[in-house]
Structure 1
Amino acid sequence: MKPRFVPDSRSWAALAVAVLSVATATACTTTDSADSPARSSTVPNTSPESSATSSPSPSPHDDAEAAAVAAYEGMWAAFVAAGTTAHWQDPALATHATGQALSTLTRGLYADAYNGLVTRGEPILDPTVSSAEPAGDPTTVIVTDCGDGSNWLKYTAEGQLADDEPGGRRRINAIVERQPNHDWMVTDFGVHEVGTC
Protein backbone atom coordinates (compact mmCIF):
# COMPACT_ATOMS: atom_id res chain seq x y z
CA MET A 1 0.00 0.00 0.00
CA LYS A 2 1.44 3.39 -1.01
CA PRO A 3 1.88 6.07 1.66
CA ARG A 4 -0.22 9.23 1.31
CA PHE A 5 1.74 12.43 0.89
CA VAL A 6 0.27 15.79 1.80
CA PRO A 7 0.96 18.49 -0.79
CA ASP A 8 2.36 21.87 0.15
CA SER A 9 2.53 25.03 -1.94
CA ARG A 10 6.11 25.85 -1.05
CA SER A 11 8.90 23.46 -1.94
CA TRP A 12 10.89 24.53 1.11
CA ALA A 13 7.83 24.14 3.30
CA ALA A 14 7.48 20.55 2.16
CA LEU A 15 11.16 19.90 2.76
CA ALA A 16 11.01 21.56 6.18
CA VAL A 17 8.50 18.94 7.27
CA ALA A 18 10.77 16.17 6.04
CA VAL A 19 14.03 17.32 7.63
CA LEU A 20 15.36 18.53 10.96
CA SER A 21 17.75 21.43 11.37
CA VAL A 22 21.34 20.53 10.73
CA ALA A 23 22.74 19.47 14.08
CA THR A 24 26.13 21.10 13.66
CA ALA A 25 24.63 24.44 12.58
CA THR A 26 22.02 25.05 15.24
CA ALA A 27 23.07 28.59 16.03
CA CYS A 28 21.13 31.18 14.03
CA THR A 29 24.10 33.33 13.08
CA THR A 30 23.93 36.27 10.75
CA THR A 31 26.69 37.66 8.59
CA ASP A 32 27.23 41.40 8.75
CA SER A 33 27.26 42.94 5.30
CA ALA A 34 30.53 44.69 6.15
CA ASP A 35 32.20 41.32 6.75
CA SER A 36 31.25 39.64 3.49
CA PRO A 37 29.89 40.65 0.09
CA ALA A 38 26.21 40.18 -0.64
CA ARG A 39 25.57 37.09 -2.73
CA SER A 40 21.86 37.38 -3.29
CA SER A 41 21.06 35.43 -6.41
CA THR A 42 18.48 33.30 -8.03
CA VAL A 43 19.17 29.59 -8.15
CA PRO A 44 20.45 29.12 -11.72
CA ASN A 45 23.32 31.59 -11.19
CA THR A 46 26.05 29.20 -10.03
CA SER A 47 29.07 30.91 -11.56
CA PRO A 48 31.65 32.22 -9.06
CA GLU A 49 32.08 35.94 -8.64
CA SER A 50 35.15 37.40 -10.33
CA SER A 51 37.30 40.23 -9.12
CA ALA A 52 38.60 42.95 -11.43
CA THR A 53 41.44 43.81 -9.07
CA SER A 54 44.66 41.88 -8.99
CA SER A 55 45.11 40.01 -5.75
CA PRO A 56 47.08 37.08 -4.41
CA SER A 57 45.96 33.60 -5.37
CA PRO A 58 43.06 32.35 -3.24
CA SER A 59 44.03 30.26 -0.24
CA PRO A 60 42.78 26.68 0.21
CA HIS A 61 40.35 28.14 2.77
CA ASP A 62 38.94 30.63 0.25
CA ASP A 63 38.77 27.95 -2.45
CA ALA A 64 36.86 25.64 -0.10
CA GLU A 65 34.34 28.31 0.81
CA ALA A 66 33.74 29.24 -2.83
CA ALA A 67 33.38 25.58 -3.86
CA ALA A 68 30.96 24.89 -1.00
CA VAL A 69 28.72 27.84 -1.90
CA ALA A 70 28.80 26.79 -5.57
CA ALA A 71 27.76 23.24 -4.60
CA TYR A 72 24.93 24.62 -2.43
CA GLU A 73 23.62 26.83 -5.24
CA GLY A 74 24.05 23.98 -7.73
CA MET A 75 21.98 21.68 -5.53
CA TRP A 76 19.05 24.10 -5.53
CA ALA A 77 19.40 24.73 -9.27
CA ALA A 78 19.11 20.99 -9.93
CA PHE A 79 16.16 20.70 -7.55
CA VAL A 80 14.33 23.61 -9.21
CA ALA A 81 14.87 22.10 -12.67
CA ALA A 82 13.71 18.64 -11.56
CA GLY A 83 10.70 20.16 -9.80
CA THR A 84 9.24 21.52 -13.03
CA THR A 85 8.28 17.92 -13.88
CA ALA A 86 8.62 16.37 -10.38
CA HIS A 87 11.40 14.19 -11.84
CA TRP A 88 12.54 12.58 -8.60
CA GLN A 89 15.02 10.30 -10.39
CA ASP A 90 16.76 13.13 -12.26
CA PRO A 91 20.49 12.23 -12.27
CA ALA A 92 21.40 15.94 -12.01
CA LEU A 93 20.23 15.85 -8.37
CA ALA A 94 23.30 13.76 -7.48
CA THR A 95 25.70 16.26 -9.03
CA HIS A 96 25.79 18.53 -5.97
CA ALA A 97 24.02 16.51 -3.25
CA THR A 98 24.65 13.17 -1.59
CA GLY A 99 23.64 11.27 1.53
CA GLN A 100 20.78 12.71 3.56
CA ALA A 101 20.58 15.83 1.38
CA LEU A 102 20.02 13.79 -1.78
CA SER A 103 17.51 11.57 0.00
CA THR A 104 15.54 14.60 1.19
CA LEU A 105 15.42 16.11 -2.30
CA THR A 106 14.33 12.90 -4.00
CA ARG A 107 11.68 12.19 -1.35
CA GLY A 108 10.25 15.68 -1.79
CA LEU A 109 10.06 15.26 -5.55
CA TYR A 110 8.61 11.76 -5.22
CA ALA A 111 5.84 13.19 -3.02
CA ASP A 112 5.11 15.82 -5.68
CA ALA A 113 5.02 13.20 -8.45
CA TYR A 114 2.74 10.99 -6.36
CA ASN A 115 0.35 13.91 -5.80
CA GLY A 116 0.50 15.22 -9.38
CA LEU A 117 2.28 18.45 -8.46
CA VAL A 118 5.05 20.43 -10.13
CA THR A 119 6.86 23.61 -9.13
CA ARG A 120 7.13 26.86 -11.04
CA GLY A 121 9.32 29.86 -10.44
CA GLU A 122 12.49 29.76 -8.42
CA PRO A 123 13.75 30.71 -4.97
CA ILE A 124 16.06 33.63 -4.29
CA LEU A 125 19.17 32.56 -2.41
CA ASP A 126 21.55 34.57 -0.24
CA PRO A 127 24.13 32.03 0.99
CA THR A 128 27.07 32.84 3.25
CA VAL A 129 29.66 30.66 4.95
CA SER A 130 29.16 30.27 8.70
CA SER A 131 32.19 28.09 9.35
CA ALA A 132 34.85 26.06 7.59
CA GLU A 133 36.85 23.31 9.31
CA PRO A 134 39.69 22.62 9.70
CA ALA A 135 40.82 26.21 9.30
CA GLY A 136 43.89 25.71 7.09
CA ASP A 137 42.44 23.35 4.50
CA PRO A 138 38.70 22.87 5.13
CA THR A 139 36.90 19.64 4.35
CA THR A 140 33.56 20.69 5.90
CA VAL A 141 31.82 24.01 5.33
CA ILE A 142 28.56 25.17 6.90
CA VAL A 143 26.55 27.35 4.52
CA THR A 144 23.80 29.51 6.00
CA ASP A 145 21.15 31.01 3.78
CA CYS A 146 18.08 33.19 4.04
CA GLY A 147 16.16 31.82 1.08
CA ASP A 148 12.99 33.38 -0.24
CA GLY A 149 10.56 30.93 -1.86
CA SER A 150 7.68 33.39 -2.23
CA ASN A 151 7.64 32.98 -6.02
CA TRP A 152 8.51 29.28 -6.07
CA LEU A 153 5.10 27.64 -5.97
CA LYS A 154 3.43 24.27 -6.42
CA TYR A 155 0.90 23.71 -9.19
CA THR A 156 -1.17 20.81 -10.36
CA ALA A 157 -0.12 19.15 -13.61
CA GLU A 158 -3.07 20.98 -15.22
CA GLY A 159 -1.56 24.35 -14.23
CA GLN A 160 -3.77 25.25 -11.26
CA LEU A 161 -2.07 26.80 -8.22
CA ALA A 162 -2.13 24.11 -5.54
CA ASP A 163 -2.15 26.53 -2.61
CA ASP A 164 -2.00 30.31 -2.28
CA GLU A 165 -0.59 30.63 1.24
CA PRO A 166 1.89 33.50 1.43
CA GLY A 167 5.54 32.49 1.51
CA GLY A 168 8.58 34.27 2.83
CA ARG A 169 12.18 34.05 3.89
CA ARG A 170 13.49 30.95 5.68
CA ARG A 171 16.79 30.18 7.34
CA ILE A 172 18.54 27.24 5.72
CA ASN A 173 21.65 25.57 7.15
CA ALA A 174 23.62 23.18 4.97
CA ILE A 175 26.61 20.93 5.55
CA VAL A 176 28.85 20.83 2.47
CA GLU A 177 31.74 18.37 2.48
CA ARG A 178 34.71 17.66 0.26
CA GLN A 179 34.38 14.17 -1.14
CA PRO A 180 37.23 11.65 -1.67
CA ASN A 181 37.36 12.69 -5.36
CA HIS A 182 37.71 16.34 -4.15
CA ASP A 183 34.25 17.39 -5.36
CA TRP A 184 32.24 19.45 -2.90
CA MET A 185 28.72 18.18 -2.19
CA VAL A 186 25.88 19.06 0.16
CA THR A 187 25.49 16.14 2.56
CA ASP A 188 22.67 17.47 4.76
CA PHE A 189 20.55 20.57 5.18
CA GLY A 190 17.76 21.92 7.36
CA VAL A 191 15.01 24.32 6.32
CA HIS A 192 13.40 26.44 9.05
CA GLU A 193 10.00 28.10 9.21
CA VAL A 194 8.99 31.27 7.36
CA GLY A 195 10.20 34.35 9.21
CA THR A 196 13.34 32.77 10.71
CA CYS A 197 15.62 35.22 8.92
Structure 2
Amino acid sequence: MARGKKSGLMACAGAAACLLVLATGCGSSGGGKSAEPTPSASKDDGKKERAAAGRDALAAYRGMWDVQVEAYSSGSMKNAKLRDYTTGDAAAMIIETFTYYNANGLAFKGGPDTAPKVSAIDVASSVHTATIEDCVDMTGVLVQRSSGKPIARAKEGDRHPWTVEATTAKDGKGGWRITDYTIDKDRAC
Protein backbone atom coordinates (compact mmCIF):
# COMPACT_ATOMS: atom_id res chain seq x y z
CA MET A 1 0.00 0.00 0.00
CA ALA A 2 2.83 2.39 0.78
CA ARG A 3 4.31 1.64 -2.63
CA GLY A 4 1.04 2.56 -4.37
CA LYS A 5 0.79 5.87 -2.50
CA LYS A 6 4.39 6.70 -3.41
CA SER A 7 3.92 6.03 -7.12
CA GLY A 8 0.64 7.99 -7.07
CA LEU A 9 2.39 10.99 -5.50
CA MET A 10 5.16 10.79 -8.07
CA ALA A 11 2.62 10.75 -10.88
CA CYS A 12 0.89 13.83 -9.43
CA ALA A 13 4.20 15.65 -9.06
CA GLY A 14 5.10 14.82 -12.66
CA ALA A 15 1.74 16.07 -13.91
CA ALA A 16 2.10 19.30 -11.90
CA ALA A 17 5.55 19.90 -13.41
CA CYS A 18 4.15 19.42 -16.93
CA LEU A 19 1.33 21.89 -16.23
CA LEU A 20 3.82 24.41 -14.90
CA VAL A 21 5.96 24.13 -18.05
CA LEU A 22 2.93 24.51 -20.29
CA ALA A 23 1.56 27.47 -18.31
CA THR A 24 4.82 29.42 -18.49
CA GLY A 25 5.14 28.84 -22.21
CA CYS A 26 1.62 30.05 -23.04
CA GLY A 27 1.57 33.48 -21.38
CA SER A 28 3.80 35.34 -23.84
CA SER A 29 2.20 37.89 -26.18
CA GLY A 30 5.20 39.67 -27.65
CA GLY A 31 5.99 37.50 -30.63
CA GLY A 32 8.41 35.39 -28.63
CA LYS A 33 10.21 38.35 -27.01
CA SER A 34 10.14 38.78 -23.26
CA ALA A 35 8.85 42.14 -21.98
CA GLU A 36 11.53 42.28 -19.27
CA PRO A 37 15.29 42.00 -19.71
CA THR A 38 16.76 38.67 -18.80
CA PRO A 39 18.65 38.51 -15.51
CA SER A 40 21.93 37.82 -17.34
CA ALA A 41 21.50 40.99 -19.44
CA SER A 42 21.05 43.06 -16.25
CA LYS A 43 24.17 41.53 -14.74
CA ASP A 44 26.16 42.31 -17.90
CA ASP A 45 25.00 45.94 -17.83
CA GLY A 46 26.15 46.27 -14.22
CA LYS A 47 29.52 44.75 -15.06
CA LYS A 48 29.99 47.14 -17.97
CA GLU A 49 29.09 50.14 -15.82
CA ARG A 50 31.50 49.06 -13.06
CA ALA A 51 34.24 48.38 -15.61
CA ALA A 52 33.81 51.83 -17.18
CA ALA A 53 33.79 53.46 -13.74
CA GLY A 54 36.94 51.54 -12.81
CA ARG A 55 38.71 52.76 -15.95
CA ASP A 56 37.69 56.35 -15.16
CA ALA A 57 38.84 56.07 -11.53
CA LEU A 58 42.22 54.70 -12.71
CA ALA A 59 42.49 57.58 -15.20
CA ALA A 60 42.06 60.03 -12.32
CA TYR A 61 44.74 58.17 -10.35
CA ARG A 62 47.19 58.28 -13.27
CA GLY A 63 46.35 61.96 -13.81
CA MET A 64 47.14 62.61 -10.15
CA TRP A 65 50.57 61.06 -10.66
CA ASP A 66 51.18 63.05 -13.84
CA VAL A 67 50.45 66.29 -11.95
CA GLN A 68 52.74 65.29 -9.08
CA VAL A 69 55.60 64.29 -11.35
CA GLU A 70 55.37 67.55 -13.28
CA ALA A 71 55.18 69.71 -10.15
CA TYR A 72 57.84 67.85 -8.17
CA SER A 73 60.19 67.78 -11.17
CA SER A 74 59.82 71.44 -12.08
CA GLY A 75 59.53 72.83 -8.55
CA SER A 76 56.37 74.71 -9.55
CA MET A 77 52.66 74.12 -9.01
CA LYS A 78 51.81 77.05 -11.28
CA ASN A 79 50.48 74.98 -14.19
CA ALA A 80 49.56 71.90 -12.16
CA LYS A 81 45.98 70.80 -12.81
CA LEU A 82 45.61 69.32 -9.34
CA ARG A 83 41.85 70.05 -9.19
CA ASP A 84 41.27 68.00 -12.33
CA TYR A 85 42.31 64.80 -10.54
CA THR A 86 42.25 65.36 -6.76
CA THR A 87 40.27 66.92 -3.96
CA GLY A 88 40.22 66.95 -0.17
CA ASP A 89 42.98 65.20 1.74
CA ALA A 90 44.71 63.90 -1.39
CA ALA A 91 45.16 67.42 -2.78
CA ALA A 92 46.32 68.70 0.62
CA MET A 93 48.92 65.91 0.96
CA ILE A 94 50.30 66.57 -2.53
CA ILE A 95 50.68 70.29 -1.76
CA GLU A 96 52.28 69.48 1.61
CA THR A 97 54.75 67.08 -0.04
CA PHE A 98 55.53 69.64 -2.76
CA THR A 99 56.27 72.27 -0.08
CA TYR A 100 58.50 69.85 1.83
CA TYR A 101 60.44 68.84 -1.29
CA ASN A 102 61.03 72.44 -2.31
CA ALA A 103 62.10 73.47 1.19
CA ASN A 104 64.62 70.60 1.31
CA GLY A 105 66.00 70.91 -2.24
CA LEU A 106 64.41 67.67 -3.45
CA ALA A 107 62.88 66.91 -6.81
CA PHE A 108 61.60 64.08 -8.95
CA LYS A 109 63.68 62.71 -11.79
CA GLY A 110 61.16 60.82 -13.86
CA GLY A 111 58.20 59.19 -12.21
CA PRO A 112 57.54 56.15 -10.06
CA ASP A 113 56.60 52.75 -11.42
CA THR A 114 52.97 52.02 -10.67
CA ALA A 115 50.59 49.16 -11.43
CA PRO A 116 47.23 50.23 -9.99
CA LYS A 117 44.20 47.96 -9.80
CA VAL A 118 40.66 48.73 -8.69
CA SER A 119 39.96 46.53 -5.66
CA ALA A 120 36.42 47.79 -4.92
CA ILE A 121 33.87 49.89 -6.77
CA ASP A 122 30.37 51.13 -5.97
CA VAL A 123 28.24 52.66 -8.71
CA ALA A 124 24.89 51.86 -7.07
CA SER A 125 25.01 54.86 -4.70
CA SER A 126 24.45 58.42 -5.89
CA VAL A 127 28.11 59.20 -5.21
CA HIS A 128 30.24 56.57 -6.94
CA THR A 129 33.31 55.35 -5.06
CA ALA A 130 36.33 53.21 -5.83
CA THR A 131 39.28 51.82 -3.94
CA ILE A 132 42.55 51.46 -5.85
CA GLU A 133 45.47 49.33 -4.67
CA ASP A 134 48.98 49.94 -5.96
CA CYS A 135 52.62 49.18 -5.28
CA VAL A 136 54.49 52.40 -5.91
CA ASP A 137 58.19 51.99 -6.72
CA MET A 138 60.10 55.22 -6.13
CA THR A 139 63.54 53.67 -6.78
CA GLY A 140 65.84 56.43 -8.07
CA VAL A 141 63.00 58.95 -8.50
CA LEU A 142 63.68 61.32 -5.60
CA VAL A 143 66.88 63.34 -6.20
CA GLN A 144 68.72 66.40 -4.93
CA ARG A 145 67.51 69.27 -7.09
CA SER A 146 70.95 70.92 -7.28
CA SER A 147 72.96 67.84 -8.30
CA GLY A 148 70.36 65.44 -9.70
CA LYS A 149 71.85 62.69 -7.52
CA PRO A 150 69.40 60.15 -6.06
CA ILE A 151 68.64 60.36 -2.37
CA ALA A 152 70.35 57.52 -0.51
CA ARG A 153 67.59 55.43 1.03
CA ALA A 154 67.26 51.87 2.17
CA LYS A 155 66.21 49.62 -0.72
CA GLU A 156 63.02 48.55 1.03
CA GLY A 157 62.13 52.23 1.47
CA ASP A 158 61.52 52.65 -2.23
CA ARG A 159 58.52 50.33 -2.73
CA HIS A 160 55.36 50.64 -0.65
CA PRO A 161 51.70 49.61 -0.97
CA TRP A 162 49.28 52.47 -1.55
CA THR A 163 45.54 52.39 -0.90
CA VAL A 164 43.71 55.13 -2.76
CA GLU A 165 40.11 56.34 -2.46
CA ALA A 166 38.36 57.90 -5.45
CA THR A 167 34.89 59.39 -5.80
CA THR A 168 32.58 61.22 -8.15
CA ALA A 169 30.18 64.04 -7.48
CA LYS A 170 26.50 63.21 -7.06
CA ASP A 171 25.07 60.82 -9.67
CA GLY A 172 28.54 60.02 -11.01
CA LYS A 173 28.77 63.40 -12.72
CA GLY A 174 31.76 65.71 -12.79
CA GLY A 175 34.37 63.03 -13.24
CA TRP A 176 36.42 61.04 -10.78
CA ARG A 177 38.72 62.63 -8.21
CA ILE A 178 41.22 61.06 -5.85
CA THR A 179 40.06 62.04 -2.37
CA ASP A 180 42.55 60.31 -0.10
CA TYR A 181 45.43 57.89 -0.07
CA THR A 182 47.49 56.02 2.49
CA ILE A 183 51.00 54.68 2.13
CA ASP A 184 51.87 51.61 4.17
CA LYS A 185 55.40 52.67 5.10
CA ASP A 186 55.80 49.65 7.40
CA ARG A 187 55.59 47.22 4.52
CA ALA A 188 57.46 46.82 1.25
CA CYS A 189 55.75 45.37 -1.78
TM exceeding 0.5: yes
SS at match of 1:106: helix
| Cα distance in 2 between the residues matched to 1:74 and 1:85 | 17
Aligned to 2:180: 188
Do structure 1's residue 168 and structure 2's residue 158 form an aligned pair?
A: yes
Matched letter for residue 158 of structure 2: G
Structure scoring higher RCO (CA < 8 A, sep ≥ 6) equals 1
CA deviations over 1:126-184 (Å, ceiling 9, x no partner):
11111112458870000001121113122233434443543432110000001244210
Aligned to 1:148: 137
| Cα distance in 2 between the residues matched to 1:120 and 1:135 | 41
Give the TM-score normalised by the residue count of structure 2: 0.66
| Cα distance in 1 between the residues matched to 2:120 and 2:127 | 9
Do structure 1's residue 109 and structure 2's residue 98 form an aligned pair?
A: yes
Q: CA deviation at 1:57?
A: 11
Residue pair 1:118, 1:154 contacting (<8 A) in 2 also:
yes
SS at match of 2:81: helix
When the two chains are superposed, the root-mean-square deviation of aligned CA atoms in Å is: 2.6
| Cα distance in 1 between the residues matched to 2:78 and 2:93 | 12
Give the TM-score normalised by the residue count of structure 1: 0.63
The counterpart of 1:65, out of the listed 38, 49, 54, is: 54
SS at match of 2:109: strand
Stretch deviating more after TM superposition (158-167 or 59-68): 158-167
Unaligned ranges ≥5, structure 2 = 1-43
After the TM superposition, which parts of structure 1 deviate over 4 Å for at least 4 consecutive aligned residues? 55-58, 134-138
The counterpart of 1:179, out of the listed 154, 169, 175, is: 169
Stretch deviating more after TM superposition (117-126 or 158-167): 158-167
The structure that is helix-richer by fraction is 2
Question: Do the aligned partners of residues 159 and 152 (structure 1) sit closer, same or farther apart at CA in structure 2, a change above 3 Å counting?
Answer: closer
Do structure 1's residue 129 and structure 2's residue 118 form an aligned pair?
A: yes
Residue pair 1:88, 1:110 contacting (<8 A) in 2 also:
no
Aligned to 1:139: 128
Residue pair 1:176, 1:188 contacting (<8 A) in 2 also:
yes
Question: Do the aligned partners of residues 134 and 161 (structure 1) sit closer, same or farther apart at CA in structure 2, a change above 3 Å counting?
Answer: closer
Matched letter for residue 108 of structure 1: T
Question: Do the aligned partners of residues 95 and 136 (structure 1) sit closer, same or farther apart at CA in structure 2, a change above 3 Å counting?
Answer: closer
CA deviations over 1:70-95 (Å, ceiling 9, x no partner):
11111011101111122245432222
Residue pair 1:147, 1:172 contacting (<8 A) in 2 also:
yes
